[in-house]
Amino acid sequence: MTPISSRTAVTEQPVLDVFAERWSTRIFDPAAPLDEPAFASALEAARWAPSASNTQPWRAIVARRGTAEHRAVLDALMGFNQVWADAASALVVFVAETAREDGEPLTWAVYDTGQAAAYFTIQAHAGGLVTHQMGGFHRDQVAAAFDIEARFDPISVVAVGLLGDPAGATEAIRERESLPRTRRPIAETLLVDA
């Protein structure tokens, strides 16, 4: 079994360390408070993500463990996500602004929100945090819990915190953490490589 501590990607080409070393853990330290400076930097990185016409069509709900807001986000997670994500120091909901106040659609909102989340995760890992993005949650439940306007769409929940002790995790989670990380080869991704 691959040891949990060596989940660094074996890349086809050199990349920045943080890209190879970022991975989605399901083992968070349930006692670790949020590393506020590292977290603030991750939000700052998201802030500087590019977006169509600089519309920045993203918002975030930050729910630190122990708050009612955290409980509300946790309750909206689907199935297995609820089992491990509660140990993260915070759950962050990335929300896309899909239309302006006047109703004009923001066509790239979901794309741009994904970029902001990606920037967030990369900066978080560079700062010593670990993250795990989730699409498995009830969007309507989150929207209702936080009274979000219809033109905003919750897209992903990101668990963020410190890496926990694998010894404290269930066997099922330890096994999933130990699977090798894989990707499709670049040659199969390029539809055209003229």
Stretch that binds ligand FMN, among 32-40, 98-106, 133-141, 143-151 (CB under 6 A): 133-141
Which residue of the chain is nearest ligand FMN when measured via CB? 136
Please list every residue from 17 through 76 that binds ligand FMN, using CB under 6 A. 23-24
Q: Should residue 133 be labelled a site residue for ligand FMN when binding is judged by CB under 6 A?
A: yes
Interface with ligand FMN in residues 75-114 (CB under 6 A): 81
Count the residues of the shown chain that bind ligand FMN, applying the rule CB under 6 A. Answer: 9
Q: Shortest Cβ distance from residue 128 to ligand FMN (Å)?
A: 17
As a whole number of angstroms, the distance between CA 93 and CA 139 comes to: 10
SS (H, E, C) 71-108: HHHHHHECCCHHHHHCCCCEEEEEEEECECCCCCECCC
Among 72, 96, 130, 134, binds ligand FMN (CB under 6 A): 134
131 binds ligand FMN (CB under 6 A): no
Site for ligand FMN in 154-183 (CB under 6 A): 156, 181
From the list 55-63, 102-110, 131-139, 145-153, the region that binds ligand FMN by CB under 6 A is 131-139
